[in-house]
C-alpha cells in the first residue's frame, strides 16, 4: 500500500514539475512574442537602426547575428568534431586524457563575460585587429567548444560497439569506419549539440560586447567583397549582433521608441532561434536518411 501511494505521489509531483517548466516556457515565449509582434514587418527587419529618432530597424544586427553564427560554426565545428572524435576513439585512458577532460569541463563552466574579456585581451588587443566579427567568432568558439567536444564524444560513444566491430571485421580501416559507420550513426546526437551551440551563439551578448563590438559600420548590401570597410561579408569589421543590440538599446537607447525596438528585436531573436532549430532538425533527419540508405 505504501509503495502504491509513493508511486502515485511521484507521478503527481513529476507531472507538476513538468507543467511548471512548460508553463514558464510558454509564458515567456508568449510574452516576448506578443510584446514584439507589432514590430514584425519587412521595414523593421531590413532598415538600419536610428540612434535618436523613432522608427529605426535592426537590419544590420540581424545580418551580423546570422553571419557571426556561420563564421563561428565554420571555426568551431571542425575543432569540436575533431576533438570529440579524438576523445572517443583515439585518446588512451591515461592522466593526460583525464587532464584534457577536466580542462574541457572547467572551460564549459566559464561565465561568458569572462570569455568576452579573454577575447578582448587575446583576439582584439594582442592580435591588433580591434573589434571585429572574427574576434567575436573566436571568442564564441572558445565559449562553445567544450559543449561541442562533449556532445560529439558522447554521441560517438553511444553508437553500439557492435557497429564498429562489424566494420573492422570486414577489413575496413579505423578511419573509414569512423567516417562511414560511426559518424552517421552518431549524427543525430551531434546535430542536437550543434543546434544547442548555435542557439547559444545566436543569443550570446556578454562574450561579444568586447570582441565583436557594440557598433556596426553603415553596411552596403550591394557589396560582396571580403575586405571593404562597409562590406557586410568582411569578417574584420566591427559588428553589433541582435542580442547585443537588445542589451544596448535597453540600457542606453536614446530613441523614443527604444523599448519598442528592443521588444521587436527580442521577438525576432526568439523566432530566428526557433526557425533555426526546426530547420536543423529537418535537415538532420534528411541527412541521416541520405547517409544511411543512399548509394554512396
Partner 1 sequence: MSVMTLEKTIIRARDVSVYYGEKRAVSNIHMDIERNSVTAFIGPSGCGKSTLLRSMNRMNDLVPSCRVTGSIEVDGTDINSADVNIEGLRQVIGMVFQRANPFFKSIYENIAFAPRFHGLTDKRKLDEVVEESLRKAALWDEVKDRLRESALSLSGGQQQRLCIARAIAMQPTILLLDEPASALDPISTMKIEELVMSLKEEYTIVIVTHNLHQAARISDKTAFFLMGELIEYNDTSKLFTTPENEKTEAYISGRFG
Among 16, 160, 215, 285, binds partner 1 (CB under 8 A): 160
Nearest approach in angstroms of CB 90 to partner 1 is: 12
Nearest approach in angstroms of CB 193 to partner 1 is: 19
Nearer residue to partner 1 within complex by CB, 38 or 176? 176
Q: Which stretch binds partner 1 (CB under 8 A): 115-123, 146-154, 160-168, 190-198?
A: 160-168
Secondary structure of the chain as H, E, C letters: CHHHHHHHHHHHHHHHHHHHHHHHHHHHHHHHHHHHHHHCCHHHHHCCCCCCCCCCCCHHHHHHHHHHHHHHHHHHHHHHHHHHHHHHHHCCCCHHHHHHHHHHHHHHCCCHHHHHHHHHHHHHHHCCCCCCHHHHHHHHHHHHHHHHHHHHHHHHHCCCHHHHHHHHHCCCCHHHHHHHHHHHHHHHHHHHHHHHHHHHHHHCCHHHHCCCCCCCCCCCCCCCCCCCCCCCCCCCCCCCCHHHHHHHHHHHCCCCCHHHHHHHHHHHHHHHHHHHHHHHHHHHHHHHHHHHHCCC
Among 125, 173, 215, 227, binds partner 1 (CB under 8 A): 173
Site membership for partner 1, residue 105 (CB under 8 A): no
Upper half-sphere CA count for residue 150 (Cβ side, 13 Å): 17
Site membership for partner 1, residue 98 (CB under 8 A): no
Among 46, 97, 108, 163, binds partner 1 (CB under 8 A): 163
Site membership for partner 1, residue 165 (CB under 8 A): yes
| Four-point Cα dihedral 161, 166, 172, 174, nearest 10 | 10
Nearest approach in angstroms of CB 172 to partner 1 is: 5
Nearer residue to partner 1 within complex by CB, 189 or 213? 189
Nearer residue to partner 1 within complex by CB, 43 or 165? 165
Q: Which stretch binds partner 1 (CB under 8 A): 11-19, 80-88, 170-178, 234-242?
A: 170-178
Among 5, 109, 171, 252, binds partner 1 (CB under 8 A): 171
Among 14, 74, 102, 166, binds partner 1 (CB under 8 A): 166
Nearer residue to partner 1 within complex by CB, 157 or 200? 157
Nearest approach in angstroms of CB 196 to partner 1 is: 23
Site residues, partner 1 (CB under 8 A): 92, 160, 162-173, 176, 180-181, 184-185, 291-295
Amino acid at each position: 500500500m505504501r509503495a502504491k501511494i509513493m508511486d502515485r505521489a511521484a507521478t503527481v509531483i513529476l507531472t507538476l514539475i513538468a507543467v511548471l517548466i512548460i508553463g514558464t516556457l510558454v509564458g515567456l515565449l508568449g510574452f516576448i512574442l506578443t510584446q514584439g509582434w507589432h514590430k514584425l514587418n519587412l521595414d523593421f527587419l531590413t532598415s538600419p537602426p536610428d540612434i535618436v529618432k523613432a522608427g529605426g530597424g535592426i537590419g544590420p544586427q540581424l545580418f551580423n547575428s546570422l553571419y557571426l553564427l556561420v563564421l563561428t560554426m565554420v571555426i568551431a565545428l571542425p575543432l569540436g568534431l575533431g576533438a570529440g572524435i579524438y576523445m572517443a576513439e583515439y585518446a588512451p585512458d591515461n592522466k593526460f586524457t583525464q587532464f584534457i577532460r577536466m580542462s574541457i569541463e572547467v572551460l564549459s563552466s566559464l561565465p561568458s563575460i569572462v570569455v568576452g574579456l579573454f577575447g578582448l585581451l587575446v583576439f582584439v588587443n594582442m592580435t591588433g585587429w580591434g573589434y571585429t566579427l572574427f574576434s567575436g567568432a573566436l571568442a564564441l568558439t572558445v565559449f562553445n567548444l567544450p559543449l561541442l567536444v562533449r556532445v560529439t564524444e558522447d554521441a560517438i560513444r553511444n553508437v553500439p560497439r557492435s557497429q564498429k566491430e562489424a566494420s573492422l571485421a570486414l577489413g575496413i580501416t579505423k578511419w573509414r569506419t569512423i567516417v562511414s559507420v560511426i559518424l552517421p550513426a552518431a549524427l543525430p546526437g551531434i546535430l542536437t549539440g550543434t543546434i544547442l551551440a548555435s542557439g547559444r551563439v545566436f543569443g550570446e551578448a556578454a562574450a561579444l560586447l568586447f570582441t565583436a563590438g557594440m557598433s556596426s559600420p553603415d553596411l552596403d548590401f550591394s557589396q560582396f567583397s571580403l575586405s571593404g570597410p562597409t562590406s557586410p561579408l568582411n569578417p574584420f569589421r566591427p559588428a553589433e549582433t541582435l542580442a547585443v543590440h537588445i542589451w544596448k538599446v535597453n540600457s542606453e537607447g536614446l530613441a523614443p521608441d527604444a523599448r519598442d525596438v528592443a521588444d521587436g528585436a527580442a521577438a525576432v531573436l526568439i523566432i530566428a532561434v526557433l526557425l533555426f532549430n526546426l530547420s536543423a532538425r529537418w535537415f538532420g533527419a534528411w541527412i541521416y536518411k541520405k547517409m544511411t540508405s543512399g548509394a554512396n
